[in-house]
Amino acid sequence: MSQIEGKVAVVTGASSGIGAAIVRTLSEAGADVILTARRRGHLADLAASLPGRSAILDADISASDTPARLLALAQEKFGRADVLVNNAGIIAAGSIDTVDLDALSHMTRVNFDAVVRASYVFARAFKSQGSGTIINVSSIGAYLISKRMGVYGALKHALEAFSSSLRIELAGTGVKVGTVAPGTTRTEIFDHMAAPGTQSAVTEGTPLEPADVAAAVLFMIEQPERVNIARLAMFAATDAY
């Protein structure tokens, strides 16, 4: 019997890629799942294919009321929430001369501000009930210095620091906090970054698959109550950084 069987998990950025894989993995392990992203059609199709119970919320994760709406939906549909996986994320990158500053601001709202708000909203509920798990999907970009990707890496670095602080604050309350930081992964988030006529970097070598990251998330959740995996970094076997 899986440790997550019968629990209620909320997954952001769930319409495709890593988020969709996490939803499927948790559902197959026996969890009830709340799926959220902006593309309702993708969410509905995924929900219809799951083996267990689910509910969907099509919403912009950067909207200030979305985390509270997700918690309310979990409580309404399933009576509680037990797991929050903050997976939603976007990439905006470019040289100093070409980068879209508005896109960088939007990335900050999605990749960091929204995660902080959701983490606090759910942490309060989890602390009140004496149990819960928050897993924030980071990136190995948090540990690397790279030109053109400075803001993305900085936000992931900030996410790691925030998650560690939250874990320390919640120690002893029954609430666990950790991050999973994947390396090169085959997802659509990188598609727009390839120059016309060139091969995207994510297709080179043998990248991680979304299911690999989902398996890591499940592994973190299934640890005994005495164990909190604070940080799990995942590199593709062909990554050389």
pLDDT single digits (tens) 44-82: 999 999 999 999 999 999 999 999 999 999 999 999 999
220 in any annotated domain: yes
pLDDT band at 145 (very low <50, low <70, confident <90, very high): confident
Q: What is the pTM (predicted TM-score) of this model?
A: 0.92
The tally of domains found in the chain comes to 1
Q: Identify the pLDDT of residue 56.
A: 98
166 in any annotated domain: yes
- Quick one: which of 30, 115, 122 has its CA closest to 81? 122
3 in any annotated domain: no
What is the average per-residue pLDDT within 78-87?
98
Q: Identify the pLDDT of residue 191.
A: 52
Domain enclosing residue 145, as ranges: 8-234
135 in any annotated domain: yes
Q: Identify the pLDDT of residue 188.
A: 64
- Cα–Cα distance between 99 and 235 in angstroms, integer? 27
Q: The domain spanning residue 104 has which CATH number?
A: 3.40.50.720
102 in any annotated domain: yes
Provide φ and ψ at 119, rounded to 5°.
-60, -45
Residues involved in catalysis:
152
Q: Identify the pLDDT of residue 206.
A: 83
Cβ(186)–Cβ(203) below 8 Å: yes
Q: How many CB atoms lie within 10 A of CB 1?
A: 7
Beta bridge partners of 176: 133
